[in-house]
Amino acid sequence: MNIKFLSSISKVSDTHWNSVFETDYPFIQHAFLSALEQSGCTQASTGWTPHHIIVTDRDDIIAAMPCYLKTHSYGEYVFDWAWANAYQQHQLHYYPKLLSAIPFTPSTGPRLAFHNRIQLTQEKQTIIKNIRQAALDSVSSVGLSSWHVLFPDTEMSSLLEDSEYKQRSGIQYHWFNHHYTSFDDFLQTFKSRKRKTLRKERLSITQQGIEMTVVDGRDISKQLMAEFYRFYHFTYLKRSGQQGYLNLEFFNLLLSTMAENLVMFCAQKDNRLIGAALCFKDHQTLYGRYWGCEQEYEFLHFEACYYQGIEYCINHKLMRFDPGAQGEHKISRGFKPVKTLSNHMILHAEFRQAIEQFIDDEKIQVNAQIDHLTSFLPFKSASL
């Protein structure tokens, strides 16, 4: 077994990388990670130094994992700022840290993949153990504090927990398709008052003279992408005073390499584009990712980022809609609270004990919060 660390995803072919993951989940694809690097979004100067992991056996890749050396915690969506502050208060360095995640993407999916000939749990745990030791050795000179794996699937998170990566819980809000035949069919599952509220919100879009259109990836022109990017960039500036993590080159690279995974929901008024939401898709899930508009219109964000996505899933028989992180307001619109996972290995013994206790306490709160939030779902039947 040989473990290699790649300073760029370009150092492994797309065929070899994708063949290990064997999934159409868009964010783990070689093309997506490559677009981030080629556009300069993930590099040392942005605090995302690629340190991808490849495990080979007789020149065959038997495991792979995206990995970055991080000098901050921006763009992760699993918040550890309090941990970093505690380190600083004790005159210790929390950064750099290792991060196995999809940059700027709070979406659950594959993080560590094994070749299909690696089936036994014991084999996988041996590989994880070897990866961990080799990775820590490879960056021992920089004073690493920790290693974090964000938004792995449940099976992988459990495997990591068994390998001494503490499991942490979070909450997101996802929509599930119970074989609805139309948006109105979906609304029939709502309690009457909730249904009227949602219909009123959608009607408001028409009353404001706004027309929504759906543009599948292959039909998104560079001009349309540039207009979308202008909205995306402006919305970030307005919200946080900073530009977004991603640049126009990144989005143009997606057009040239991953158009089949894209769909854009466009809002027009007086024959002029006023806002748009860019989503990804695979064979069963729609992923809401990026949004922007030139000015505020009542309920436009809900229409472009939620209702259009639900309708798209129904029309294309996609079974789930992951609209992104945060947002309790999604509950009244039919998005269910779901648990997300991350795994963390803290190297400092005393801080490891304190952080693991924090995670245990937090998990109790998360479970209670999910139970509480579920009671606010708008459905007539609790089984939905």
Enclosing domain of residue 33: 2-171+338-374
Cα–Cα distance between 275 and 267 in angstroms, integer?
Answer: 5
* pLDDT of 239 above 80: no
Looking at the fold, whether 184 and 110 belong to one and the same domain comes out as no
Placement of tokens 């038997």 in the chain: 62
Q: Report CA torsion sign: 142, 143, 145, 147.
A: positive
Please tell me the predicted confidence (pLDDT) of residue 47: 97
Looking at the fold, whether 156 and 137 belong to one and the same domain comes out as yes
Looking at the fold, whether 193 and 154 belong to one and the same domain comes out as no
Cα–Cα distance between 312 and 138 in angstroms, integer?
Answer: 45
What is the helix (H) or strand (E) element at residue 82, kind and residue range? helix 81-89
Looking at the fold, whether 19 and 104 belong to one and the same domain comes out as yes
Looking at the fold, whether 193 and 50 belong to one and the same domain comes out as no
Structure tokens at 379: 């459905």
Give every CB contact of residue 239 below 8 A, 6+ residues apart in sequence: none
Predicted confidence (pLDDT) per residue in 120-155, tens digit: 899 999 999 999 999 989 888 888 999 999 999 999
Predicted confidence (pLDDT) per residue in 62-121, tens digit: 999 999 999 999 999 999 999 999 999 999 999 999 999 999 999 999 999 999 888 889
Whether omega for the bond prior to residue 323 falls within 30 degrees of 0, making it cis, is no
Domain count of the chain?
Answer: 2
Q: Where are the beta strands (DSSP E) in the chain?
A: 2-6, 48-50, 52-57, 60-65, 68-70, 97-100, 113-114, 146-150, 166-176, 210-216, 262-269, 272-281, 285-293, 320-322, 336-346
Cα–Cα distance between 3 and 53 in angstroms, integer?
Answer: 7
Is residue 332 a part of any domain in this protein?
no
Cα–Cα distance between 294 and 296 in angstroms, integer?
Answer: 7
For all residues of the chain together, what is the average pLDDT? Answer: 95
Cα–Cα distance between 168 and 355 in angstroms, integer?
Answer: 10
Please tell me the predicted confidence (pLDDT) of residue 202: 98
Is residue 131 a part of any domain in this protein?
yes
Whether residue 79 contacts residue 73, with contact meaning beta carbons closer than 8 Å, is answered with yes
Looking at the fold, whether 278 and 162 belong to one and the same domain comes out as no
Q: Exposed, middle or buried: residue 90 (CB in 10 Å: 0-12, 13-18, 19+)?
A: exposed
pTM over 0.75: yes
Please tell me the predicted confidence (pLDDT) of residue 157: 98
Can you tell me the mean pLDDT for 328-349? Answer: 96
What is the CATH number for 222?
3.40.630.30
Is residue 325 a part of any domain in this protein?
no
